[in-house]
Amino acid sequence: MCAQSHLPSGPGFSLGPVGIEVPAGCVANEVQAVRRLVRGYNRAHSSVADARELVVVARDAQGVLVGGAAGETWGEVFELEYLGVSEPWRRQGVGSRILACAEAEARARGCRRVVLDTYSFQAPDFYPAHGYREVTRVVGFGDGAAKHFFAKELEG
């Protein structure tokens, strides 16, 4: 536990102490809970009512997932959070097909642009090859790694 804190007291405050911790082990449930909390707040405080998950998957002939993309469409923007392809399937056009499918679905939902980020050891050359422009870069992730932020305007 990081800290035990008492919330402010007085009119409108009736909550007790709050324990703050960094959970050990599997935290998938906590990550999903925090994501729901933030997205729920965003939806309640934005005029955008049609925010929703966008997921694209690629499967081999046996139905095994070999790649995919996940993100959220939010108004006119598709925020691509993840795009990955299993090692044996890389450099065979699978990632390009996944990205094209995700962009097409985002376009169908009314999105006009895509935003994403990737690390320098992941795919910083992949996205410019698909029409993305680098917006900014943050360094300092160790071993000279940087995080690249990209955007693309979707056409038609």
What is the mean pLDDT of each successive set of 10 residues along the chain, which is 156 residues long? 52 66 79 81 77 93 95 94 94 95 96 97 94 96 94 91
Q: Distance between CA 142 and CA 132 in Å, rounded?
A: 25
Residue 20 lies in a domain: no
Read off the pTM.
Answer: 0.80
Give a yes or no: residue 6 inside a domain: no
Token pair, residue 35, equals: 């994501």
Number of domains making up the chain: 1
pLDDT tens per residue, range 107-130: 999 999 999 999 999 988 999 999
- Return d(Cα 30, Cα 156) in angstroms, integer: 39
Is 95 inside any structural domain? yes
Instruction: Give a yes or no: residue 65 inside a domain.
Output: yes
Domain containing residue 113:
52-153
Q: What is the CATH number of the domain that holds 111?
A: 3.40.630.30
* pLDDT confidence of residue 10: 55
**Residue 47: its pLDDT value, please?**
75
